[in-house]
Amino acid sequence: MKRLISCVVGLMLVLACAVAFAATPKDSVVIAWQIDDIITLDPAEIFEFSGAEYAGNTYDRLIGYDVEDVSKIYGQAAESWSVGEDGKTYTFRLRKGIKFASGNPLTARDAAFSLHRLILLDKSPAFILSQFGFSPENVRQKIRATDDTTLVLETDKVYAPTFLLYCLTATVGSVVDMKEVMAHEKDGDMGHAWLRTHYAGSGPFTLRQWKASEALFLDRNEHYWDGASEMKRVMIRHIAEPATQRLLLEKGDVDIARNLGPDQLDGLQGNASVEIQPAPKGGLFYLGLNQKNKILSNPKVRQALKYLVDYDGIAGSILKGSMVVHQAFLPRGFLGALAEKPFRLDVAKAKALLAEAGYPDGFSITMDTRNNFPTIDMAQSIQSTFAQAGVKLEIIPMDGKQALTKYRARNHEIYIGRWGPDYQDPHTNASTFAWNPDNADDASAKPLAWRNAWDIPKMTQKCEAAVREKDPEKRAQMYLALQKEHQEVSPFVIMFQDIEVIARRTNVRGFVLGPNFDSNFYRFITKE
């Protein structure tokens, strides 16, 4: 009997090990990722990284862009488009033959309905379209389908055409199935309550199941108009701990790990079964210097602090490849992005500037920071280098909600934060870092320049002129000039640009990592 029990136990252990180390299915990709930020699946409401990636893989948008060269814009649901002589009327021709998962054909009426929903529901991302003058009162007249294949948009004034087009490449440009959504309308909500947890798209993948903070399962759209994916299924597991993600990847239980830190990435070096794949993203880390503070409002002080950050040291020792040094408000990859990095750690120069400003012995100041990695680690490095010029920096750590609430109320002195673009047009960052039409405490528009009480009427005018310029080359030059001026005079110490770094099994290829999360695509993944 003991021998029999021993044999049974041994067999169970063998089977357990076989399961633990079993390869994932060849026709499926399994991803370990922190997806607890998904709060809705409705494209009219999605405004989080993970949700945007979901929408980018399950819905057709009107317009797309080449992730290798974002200046190249192409049609998705829209086959072609034109701009009227008035510079305000855009006519889109919808592609024929696209069908939703329900079997309903995708038409211009669905596209118009999708944009109407965005404005009428007025959720967080609605501003991306409302900035063109669309409102609940006029949207049905200004955005209309004249037949099944023709969609017309009329903006309130003339803008650079690419500005509108780039905004339509965002999640808000997703086309939803009008008949399917309205079949689930409740109390006039245009199907919103239902679509928060369900699906009504036509993209390369369809929703199988979403379990909040647990898992997201997608199935291949067998009839996708632009060719079906090789992967039959995408399974995303919410794994919060980077160390656990690494272990699952090494064992082969997942194909891709998305949230590995420097320690985990270092530990994978030399593992022949794993490859590291980096890709630049648009997120920027910066310091915001509140201009309500008399010391920080001194231009010489602002300039001095830009020479008291050890950019290369932080990038090499703390960030270890997860970010690159970048010092302009437009991320690399955007039209008109400035690559010049004029600032480096130069204590002697900083001391001279502080002396000119009237602070030869430095001063004391506070910095609000989120109590997480890498923010607190960067803050501690900055505290050390500030001290070399006599600037005594007190770090005030807090959770994200506390830090943002204080920052949005303009009650900080220095704030260390991260900003990500909402769409691929340069206006998305110019309009927050270099635009502030009203510096009053009760202003309606509250960009980052306003949060830091930076009153800039002339720069605001330059920003508004750039977004109206039709010629892309001239427009790019306007943004280059704006960034150079911004580097010299602004109360922003822009330091780093994000790099998304994933680790994947070597037999998995084709995962496209675009500049934004809504341009990370599963469709081209293959497995050997």
Query: How confident is the model over 484-497, as pLDDT tens digits?
Result: 999 999 999 999 99
Domain(s) labelled CATH 3.10.105.10 in the chain stretch across 281-499
Which of left, alpha, beta for 461 (phi over 0: left; psi -120 to 50: alpha)?
A: alpha
pLDDT band at 23 (very low <50, low <70, confident <90, very high): confident
What top-level class would CATH report for the domain 281-499?
Answer: alpha beta
The DSSP-derived string for 385-397 is HHHTTT-EEEEEE
> Residue 21's pLDDT is what?
43
CATH superfamily label, 60-202: Dipeptide-binding Protein; Domain 1 (3.90.76.10)
- Which has the closest alpha carbon to 393: 317, 287, 286, 491? 287
- Helices of type H across 212-343: 242-251, 262-268, 299-306, 311-314
What does the block give as tokens for 136? 């609940």
Cα dihedral 355, 360, 365, 370, rounded to 10, equals: 70
Burial class of residue 186, CB neighbours in 10 A (0-12, 13-18, 19+): exposed
Long-range residue pairs from 78-81, CB within 8 A, at least 24 positions apart, any chain = 78/111, 78/151, 81/165
Cα 311 from Cα 320, distance rounded (Å): 12
Query: Contact, 492 vs 285, CB < 8 A?
Result: no
For residue range 370-418, list pLDDT tens digits in order: 888 889 999 999 999 999 999 999 999 998 788 989 999 999 999 999 9
Cα 480 from Cα 193, distance rounded (Å): 44
pLDDT band at 22 (very low <50, low <70, confident <90, very high): low
Domain(s) labelled CATH 3.90.76.10 in the chain stretch across 60-202
- Helices of type H across 70-155: 108-121, 127-130, 139-142
pTM of the model: 0.82
Query: Residue 214 pLDDT more than 90?
Result: yes
Interior angle at CA 90, CA 86 and CA 92, nearest 5: 150
For residue range 500-520, list pLDDT tens digits in order: 999 999 999 999 999 988 999
Q: Facing residues of 3 across strands? A: none
